[in-house]
Structure 1
Amino acid sequence: MTPSPSLVAAALERPGVRVRTLVTLRWIAIGGQFATLIFVGLYLRFPLQWPSLIAAISAAAVLNLGLATLYPRNARLQGNAVLLHLAFDLVQAGVLLFLTGGIGNPFAILLVVPVTISATLLPARAMAALLVLAAAILGILWHWALPLPWRANPPVLPDLYMFGAGVAVLIAMTFLGSYVWLVSAESRGRARALVATEAALDREGKMSALGALAAAAAHELGGPLGTITLIARDLVKALGDDPVHGKDVRLLDAEATRSRGILVGIARRAEAEEPLPRLPLDAVLHEVVATQGPARVRVTVRTHGDLPVVRRTPELLHGLANLVDNAVRHAGSAVELHASADASRVLVTVGDDGPGFDAGILPHLGEPYLGPSRSTSGGTGLGVFIATTLIERTGGRLEFSNRDTGGACVEVRWPRTHIESPVAGATVAG
């Protein structure tokens, strides 16, 4: 019931960044750097290394002009290309700081920016490489940077203080980068898992529409084909023994009869694939079990209480089917579905006699793309996330646990007013 591997692989691709966005951000940085030099050098009259500083800023401007010229505005950069551009921005900022006091320069905190941006665009390994580069730049700035520009004698800061300032910047980079990477990874995982969920629902909707179209086509074609069949039979009676046309007339009658049988079969399959839109909950559970096909373990359904009549929605069917499919894959010999209801709520429990949920993954079930590091089974958690999302759309809430007797247990609870179809009784009775 989970999406195909190709769909999941496509969903895991990194988003990249548009060239226009990268160019705009770099122009903003260049403008800020140039304005700072003008203010500090001309207004405050601090002595600056003008040729070297202008050269460093000009290098960024030339790169930006080249980027805007060589790429279309809506082109996207990904992977190593993004890493190289962010590394350039980091080195360029390091050169400016090297010429203006190093870590003692208050603007040293801006080294955090490229690393933080990389956390939203690059995998963890690439971001770690950028952190290593930033640490090397901080080390150079701490030990070899030129003195801080000053009108008179520049203040001399203790080496220990400078070292602590460099460590503080490095810690800020690491913390902010890691935090942004975790948040953006979770956001991307949830968004892509939702895309996979929508794709599954869209496929279900198209299959339902195809079944309805097949039924309508069979109904519409039934009339003309019936007329053709009657005429063919009359021709057989009149010309069936004719030595010239008899064989063709009998073949026409046989093919018309065969075509009529094909249309009847299509109509029956379409009706079987699109049953009543509202069914008793126990009938829905039996349908979910039937979709599993011949299972390697025994799957049983038990009911208790006055079960409601519910809407047979793709969300409900796919959500429950994902839970049952997960239980069947991990069960030892049996899976049990138990449904009960009272005046206020409806409860469906899916239990198995397998090893149960991993202790480390249990608190995180329902999150997308958990990763094999959290689970000994190597699963990504996408199937459970899809089931959680779909069932929550029907008003239900899920609770995951391990049974005292062994095996996993998933409880799905609905307020009765959320899941019960208000006109289901009249529909079923009809």
Structure 2
Amino acid sequence: MILKPETVGHGGFTVAREDGKVWLLGYALPGEVVEAEPRGRQGGVAVATTSHVIESSPERVRPECPHFGPGASQPAFLTQCGGCQWQHAAYAYELKLKRQVVEEAWSRAGLRLPPDTPVLGMDDPWRYRIRGEFEAIPTSDGLRFGFHRQRSHTVQPITTCPIHDERIEKALPAFAKAADELQVVGIQNLLLTVEPEGPGLLWRIRFKGREPSWARADYAKRVAELLPGQVLLDDALTLAFWGMTFRVRSDTFVQTNYQQMLRLYETALRMLAPAEGDRILDLYAGIGTISVAVARDAESVTAVEENPRAVQLGRLNARINSARVEYAPGLVEKVLRQVRIGRHNAAILDPPRAGCEPAALAEILRLGPDRLVYISCEPSTHARDLIGLVRGGYRVRRAAIVDMFPHTYHIESVALLERS
């Protein structure tokens, strides 16, 4: 069938209409004319994939990665690698599409994205990921690592990944070769994190089922021999910026794009404008990178985090940086119930993709801090929570979109709200 995608949709799809039917269309750009093949349904909406481009958009480019695009031995809307969705779009155009996604999400929620909202992209949108998790695939040629195909449990072995730090890409064959030589079997996946400005390579292996008895030290030694110049770490690495130092472990969250993390934090702190006398809540605080940065200018920061390992590491990071940060462990909605009104005059929150629980939003509204900065990695839940805060007496003053994940459909945005 012939489809003409009109607009961009969420998830890396464009939206086309044919005979009154709505299609989610993969590997197309708005304004193109393409031949498409039906490929089932997603969320009740028909899905199709581009099989041939009849009229190409001037914004279409050749993908950088050989693993990007439909696979030959599977439904064509499943990519060989499920990591990227927009490598066929010129980067400046990709940023434009992402802004449209955010605008549409806000509009559906009953909000208007401020017209002056910037989209902060990267000068060089490649090799930006400092952390990657790779699935293990035993093959007749030995162990390989790769990614799940899009919407599939099948793993696609990879030879390159141009969105990961090159040190991570080069490390994969070393970890596979060492496993083959030492006959380490049952590996499920490998998580690698590199120090942005140091030689450290933090690694963690997970096994299928119970971890077998294996010569971990011998394995690490062999990998290190295969990676001269890299310092293998199995506990924690150091993340440093703005004169601060943080410890990061494999079992705690860290922003995978170091360069854009700095832009995101700069933007969020500029909106929050912490000053002497401010008592600030940092909700969903993680290991404390934002808390410690905010505490440099505020009177105090209360960091709320439910993950015990993140709390432990966050307290360590506060001590390392001599920061006025106190951790309150637990679910945000439960911790806030114990906080009295007027104790904090500002808050910053960075919840997971699902956004805030209704009970958490209710507690924020009860406490009523003068200003809120809300960071989100999901436009739909961001807009949903923002309209809840607006209906509760806040006004959106500013917003920004930060492209943390070039060539993927993921979008990070941040908004400043002030109490009306």
Q: TM-score, normalised by structure 1?
A: 0.21
Q: Identify, as 1 or 2, the structure richer in strand.
A: 2
Whose Rg is larger?
1
